[in-house]
Amino acid sequence: MSLFLKGHLRSLRSALPFGKSDTENGNFARFHDEPSTPTGDVTELKNIQNGSVTGKQSGYGSSNGDCTYGSKGQAADFQEDYSEEVNPHDKITEWQAGWNVTNAIQGMFIVTFPYAVLEGGYWVIFTMIFVAYVCCYTGKILVDCLYDEDPDGNRVRIRDSYVGIAEEVWGARIGGKIVNTAQIIELLMTCILYVLLCGDLMIGSFPDTPVDLSSWIMISSMLLLPCAFLRSLRHVSWLSFWCTVAHMFINAIILIYCMTRIRTWHWADVNIQIDIWTFPISLGIVIFSYTSQIFLPTLEGNMVDRSKFHCMMHWTHVAAAIFKALFSYVGFVTWGMQTKEVITNNLPNYTMKVIVNLFLVAKALLSYPLPYFAAARLIETTFFQGKPQTAFPSCFDASGRLKLWSLVLRLTMVVFTLLMAIFIPHFAILMGLIGSFTGNMLSLVWPCYFHLKIKGHVMVWWQKFIDIFIILFGLLCSIFGIYFSSRALVRAFEGYEPRPFQGH
């Protein structure tokens, strides 16, 4: 059994974006048997929305990503070295790749989806299916941009990451910086969502205590301060992996409970008309939940049989669309207009609600280090490599240890997420705002734009039409989503409902 678990975790970890050196790859493959050195640590990223051992996420890249987050105390590239000579020991099957994608697009934020149906009605359920199709398509064309044809007509992988594609289109000077900036924003926002989710769950579990939401957020954040000392996420990833499995079990329990209430379902409460004031927020939530594009080049580069990548994308996104639509609809009609931002807070059995919420708090706390560590390494390698690469000195000394001031910088990041969670205590609206901004760019607009620029000369008219349609759709979603999400936040700060005509 232990050999099976070791092999399974190793295969899952092989999908993570990690540093480029052979030393790092070697330590990655045998971390169970040998302690790693400071220069050989493997940095695991998120599957951005759920914190499992998949890699947000993502270079999450973050959202999920394709940048090199080397653990060395020296300059690191923002591109992974995905040459064809990937260690066979680190290869993964299409099923293991599918597990990673599933973790990325079916994370713990699904507990907010019934509330999205409250705000958007049947149209949100439709968008869960439509956006799944669009993100499956953009994921495939993004990976297609990694390849070109040689004189004999054979496909050759000449690029290795989302950043590499951006640099091909926008140039090496700004291409990587634009994508990395989006990644940093999404990773930090994801950290804020995890902290805020902890507060929401705790206040829902103990509503009669004198501890308010801000206090619960501060207590949760105190437990996250040790993240500043992280050099490797292997132990956290182990726990987070099993928490993710158990979280799926909890989702099943919630569905079963909802089925037992089928006689009292509020069928008529699901809106058919679009509420322009809240639908863009719900759409942003849906798009945010499907963000997985940044780590797809990494994942595809490690597959044993890359020809099965498209098939893997199909069944993972079909499964995600079906489950999200079913969970959201059933969860909403069970409680109707009384549905709360986090569905577990609707559970009537107090003991059951407390147990489920406490478990989800633990899951959120264990998920936080993944996007946090990815954001920290990305910031360090973007701004703190030392001259002449950057204007600021390296965060590491000659022995590869963190300098004192860099440790303070990492602690400041934790405090920043704490303050943002306190100042923006509206989970669903904030999630919609993030999805409308970085989610749209990373998942919809940029993949299609890059596809047109790199492959436009060999595309037929209908392929170009699809890409242009998705670009326009993504831009419209961003404009309306950012506007209405920001407006809803302002009204929420003022103590009003997000809809301006519902009274005060």
The kind and range of the H/E element at 157 are strand 155-157
- Give the single-character DSSP code of 321: H
Using DSSP's 3-state secondary structure scheme, residue 420 falls into helix
**pLDDT value of residue 428:** 75
- Of 24-38, 87-101, 170-184, the least confident: 24-38
**What mean pLDDT comes out for the span 417-437?**
85
CB 320 within 8 A of CB 132: yes
**pLDDT value of residue 235:** 58
Q: Which residues pair with 92 in a beta bridge?
A: 303
pLDDT category at 33 given cuts 50, 70, 90 is: very low
Residues in contact with 349: Cβ distance below 8 Å, sequence separation at least 6, in sequence order:
none
pLDDT category at 105 given cuts 50, 70, 90 is: confident
Using DSSP's 3-state secondary structure scheme, residue 147 falls into strand
pLDDT of 443 higher than 90: yes
pLDDT of 34 higher than 60: no
Residue of higher predicted confidence among 21 and 278: 278
**pLDDT value of residue 477:** 92
**pLDDT value of residue 26:** 29
pLDDT of 41 higher than 80: no
Name the class of domain 2-458+465-492. mainly alpha
Which tokens go with 61?
Answer: 């890249």
- Whether omega before 500 lies within 30 degrees of 0, making that bond cis, reads no
- Of 63-77, 82-96, 327-341, 476-490, the least confident: 63-77
pLDDT of 174 higher than 80: yes
Q: Taking all residues of the chain, what is their mean pLDDT, rounded to a whole number?
A: 78
The kind and range of the H/E element at 149 are strand 147-149
**pLDDT value of residue 173:** 80
Q: What is the DSSP string of 176-193?
A: HHHHHHHHHHHHHHHHHH
Residue spans per domain, the chain: 2-458+465-492
pLDDT category at 499 given cuts 50, 70, 90 is: low
CB 33 within 8 A of CB 6: no
Q: Any idea how long the chain is? A: 504
Q: What percent of the chain has pLDDT over 90?
A: 30
Residue of higher predicted confidence among 315 and 120: 315
Query: How far apart (Å, rounded) are the C-alpha atoms in residues 321 and 350?
Result: 31
- Give the single-character DSSP code of 148: E
pLDDT category at 330 given cuts 50, 70, 90 is: very high
pLDDT of 73 higher than 70: no
CB 214 within 8 A of CB 197: no
- Of 100-104, 117-121, 337-341, the least confident: 100-104
pLDDT of 46 higher than 90: no
Query: How far apart (Å, rounded) are the C-alpha atoms in residues 353 and 152?
Result: 62
The pTM of the full predicted model, rounded to 2 decimals, is 0.75
- Of 13-17, 232-236, 290-294, 365-369, the least confident: 13-17
Q: What percent of the chain has pLDDT over 70?
A: 78
pLDDT of 78 higher than 50: no
Highest mean pLDDT (candidates 126-135, 142-151, 296-305, 341-350): 126-135
- Of 47-51, 163-167, 193-197, 325-329, the least confident: 47-51
Query: How far apart (Å, rounded) are the C-alpha atoms in residues 163 and 228?
Result: 26
**pLDDT value of residue 239:** 63
pLDDT of 374 higher than 70: yes
Residues in contact with 221: Cβ distance below 8 Å, sequence separation at least 6, in sequence order:
195, 414, 415, 417, 418, 421
Burial of residue 464, with CB atoms counted within 10 A of its CB: 0-12 exposed, 13-18 middle, 19 or more buried:
middle
pLDDT category at 65 given cuts 50, 70, 90 is: very low
Q: Where are the alpha helices (DSSP H) in 106-174?
A: 113-120, 122-144, 162-170
Query: How far apart (Å, rounded) are the C-alpha atoms in residues 143 and 145?
Result: 5
pLDDT of 445 higher than 60: yes
C-alpha distances (whole Å) from 135 to each of 129, 182, 318, 467, 476 are: 10, 17, 11, 12, 16
pLDDT of 240 higher than 70: no
pLDDT of 461 higher than 50: yes
**pLDDT value of residue 88:** 64
**What mean pLDDT comes out for the span 146-165?**
88
pLDDT of 132 higher than 50: yes
